[in-house]
């Protein structure tokens, strides 16, 4: 048994040209990724990067051009049905059956997956996503967030070991985002491997053990979240001084220093190369008193900018 939940090797996808309307598009360029069992894995990248293409290949909705994919040790070419049993997918687009209640939707989905009546977990799943009191409501009366949670429950009817969520919180408000994060964490605590795509850096940072960053169909970074954060070159430190610093460039020679406001100076530095102590010494040597020091916690936005040279949104 592999320690990986998903193994993607040299995956390539070119969408064919659609008559005269759209040109052929190479959406994935030799993507290789291993996703550990038990992890919360984030696939991060701007719109159009190729995230949904990867997810839809895993889901069997898009046919790859070349490369191989194994899900829970099952090759998608050799045993597509076996793969479907191992994975639950929450697609990016909300699709819901307005004519059914949430309980009926789950029963139907379980039927599609061939789950015998006695083994269905409809109420347990509704409870898991906080919809137990909506079991018999009209689905069309549910809020957007409730519908999203119903989709998560639907993806879990066959109790797969892997749950994949494509942009689960795109366009949802902060409170709902936190609810979904709690759902995801609870599932992961029960042993479910989670793969999610997002273009929100904050989301990947808050939830994921491991992150791969994809841009223009290529994986440009893949590391534990903490390591990615540690890679950040630019940290900022702000010194508030007892009087205005006129010659910051000279005082802090060799540092990227910039005076701001009346009595502050900001220095951008790389923690792996520069010691804050050396800055403090230089300031004090020039006869300035330091009133206060503050730093700006770096986040994935910085990593993203460095790796792609473009904005995350």
Stretch that binds ligand ADP, among 44-52, 80-88, 106-114, 186-194 (CB under 6 A): 44-52
Residues 62-121 that bind Mg ion (CB under 5 A): 92
**Partner interacting with residue 15 (select from ligand ADP, Mg ion, none; CB below 5-8 Å by kind):** ligand ADP
The span from the CA of 133 to the CA of 141, in Å, is 13
Q: Write down the least CB distance from residue 285 to Mg ion, Å.
A: 53
Stretch that binds ligand ADP, among 46-54, 177-185, 285-293, 299-307 (CB under 6 A): 46-54
**Is 168 among the residues that bind ligand ADP (CB under 6 A)?**
no
**Partner interacting with residue 48 (select from ligand ADP, Mg ion, none; CB below 5-8 Å by kind):** ligand ADP
Instruction: Give the CA dihedral 276, 281, 286, 287, nearest 10 degrees.
Output: 110
- Report whether 175 contacts 203 (CB < 8 A): no
Among 7, 12, 15, 161, binds ligand ADP (CB under 6 A): 15
Helix (H/G/I), strand (E/B), else coil: 117: helix
Per-residue contact flags (x/-) with Mg ion for residues 14 to 53, judged by CB under 5 A: -------------------------------------xx-
The span from the CA of 213 to the CA of 42, in Å, is 8
In the complex with ligand ADP, the residue whose CB is nearer, 128 or 208, is 208
**Is 64 among the residues that bind ligand ADP (CB under 6 A)?**
no
- Report whether 224 contacts 210 (CB < 8 A): yes
Query: Which residue in this structure is represented by tokens 């137990």?
Result: 132
In the complex with ligand ADP, the residue whose CB is nearer, 51 or 154, is 51
Which neighbouring-strand residues pair with 194?
A: 40, 163
CB nearest Mg ion: which residue?
52
In the complex with ligand ADP, the residue whose CB is nearer, 46 or 130, is 46
SS3 sequence of 22-90: ECCEEEEEEEEEEEECCCEEEEECCCCCCHHHHHHHHCCCCCCCEEEEEECCEECCCCHHHHHHHEEEE
**Is 50 among the residues that bind ligand ADP (CB under 6 A)?**
yes
Q: Write down the least CB distance from residue 162 to ligand ADP, Å.
A: 19
**Is 122 among the residues that bind ligand ADP (CB under 6 A)?**
no
- Report whether 245 contacts 251 (CB < 8 A): yes
**Partner interacting with residue 50 (select from Mg ion, ligand ADP, none; CB below 5-8 Å by kind):** ligand ADP
Tell which residue, 178, 171, 213, has the closest CA to residue 300: 213
In the complex with ligand ADP, the residue whose CB is nearer, 167 or 210, is 167
Tokens representing 195? 């793969």
**Is 47 among the residues that bind ligand ADP (CB under 6 A)?**
yes
CA distances from 219 to 32, 60, 229 (A): 8, 21, 17
In the complex with ligand ADP, the residue whose CB is nearer, 53 or 193, is 53
- Residue partners of 252: CB distance under 8 A and separation at least 6: 265, 267, 279, 282, 283
Q: Write down the least CB distance from residue 34 to ligand ADP, Å.
A: 20
Binding site for Mg ion (CB under 5 A): 51-52, 92
Binding site for ligand ADP (CB under 6 A): 15, 22, 25, 27, 45, 47-53
């Amino acid at each position: 048994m592999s320690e990986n939940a998903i193994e993607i090797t040299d995956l390539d996808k070119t969408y064919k040209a659609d008559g005269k309307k759209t040109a052929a598009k190479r959406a994935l360029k030799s993507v290789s990724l291993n996703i550990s069992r038990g992890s919360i894995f984030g696939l991060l990248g701007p719109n159009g990067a190729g995230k949904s293409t990867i997810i839809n290949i895993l889901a069997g909705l898009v046919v790859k051009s070349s490369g191989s994919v194994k899900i829970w040790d099952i090759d998608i070419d050799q045993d597509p049905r076996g793969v479907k049993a191992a994975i639950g997918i929450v697609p990016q687009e909300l699709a819901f059956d307005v004519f059914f209640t949430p309980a009926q939707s789950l029963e139907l989905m379980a039927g599609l997956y061939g789950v015998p009546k006695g083994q269905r977990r409809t109420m347990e799943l509704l409870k898991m996503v906080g919809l137990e009191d909506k079991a018999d409501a009209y689905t069309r009366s549910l809020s957007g967030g409730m519908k999203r949670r119903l989709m998560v429950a639907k993806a879990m009817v066959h109790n797969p070991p892997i749950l994949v969520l494509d942009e689960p919180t795109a366009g949802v408000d902060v409170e709902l985002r936190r609810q979904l994060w709690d759902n995801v964490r609870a599932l992961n605590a029960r042993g479910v491997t989670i793969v999610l795509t997002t273009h929100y850096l904050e989301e990947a940072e808050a939830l994921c053990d491991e992150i791969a960053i994809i841009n223009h169909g290529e994986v440009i970074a893949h590391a534990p979240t903490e390591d990615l954060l540690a890679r950040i070159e630019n940290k900022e430190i702000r010194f508030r001084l007892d009087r205005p610093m006129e010659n910051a460039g000279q005082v802090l020679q060799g540092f990227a220093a910039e005076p701001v406001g009346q009595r502050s100076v900001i220095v951008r530095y790389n923690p792996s190369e520069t010691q804050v102590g050396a800055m403090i010494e230089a300031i004090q040597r020039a006869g300035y008193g330091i009133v206060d020091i503050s730093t700006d916690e770096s986040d994935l936005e910085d990593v993203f900018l460095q790796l792609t040279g473009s904005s995350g949104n």
